[in-house]
Structure 1
Amino acid sequence: MKTLVLGATTNKERYAYKAIHSLIDKSHQVVAIGTKEGMALDVKIETTKVPFSGIDTVTLYLNPKNQQEYYDYIISLKPRRVVFNPGTENPEFYEILKKNNIDFEVACTLVLLATNQY
């Protein structure tokens, strides 16, 4: 399964970085988009809307306002689901995802991974 971490960072203290680390530890393929290029472990952080293929899950680390510019992009990836981590809850986007038959969860990626529910 391939996961897109949206809101990725090279800052090891941030949850987006910790999620990349945990995903890799659990043998998930990871791609990442952030505001600054860099590396999070062995994952290159892209700064543009790369047309990745085979995305199973998009896990969000962007506040609702910053998610808006990614709505169409996320829909175009046709992920199985979108995970809204704490602080990213967005009822407007939930409705868009429902209309496009994309599942979503309001959950913490780190907790899902730690409890084998990812």
Structure 2
Amino acid sequence: MTLIIGLPMIFVAFPYYEGYRIANGVWRYHYFTNQETSGETILVTNIEADSGRKSNFSRVTMTVYVNSEKRIVNISNSNKALVRNLREENKKSMILNGEVNKEGKIVFIR
């Protein structure tokens, strides 16, 4: 019975799952590296930074204004050290240089 369940998992499900992960990673890399962006001045007004006690990663969300349009931006790959630094900066607005794609959906902050 174990062979009947285990062999299809080994030869079908596992390679499908690993192939899907590789294809998804390549698609995401291709999507983000082929963005055409333009330089913009970005006003950051509100930073929400939360970190868990057990995890090394955290959630950072900023409210930014690009060309007078309000956007909510998530910072990917944030960690606890970044949260500590951003909590000190939370009390004041910042003007930063950044990049925005044509649709205005992806914001890169330098």
Compute the TM-score of the two structures, normalised by the length of structure 2: 0.24
- Normalized per residue, which structure has more strand? 2
- Normalized per residue, which structure has more helix? 2
Compute the TM-score of the two structures, normalised by the length of structure 1: 0.23
Larger radius of gyration: 2
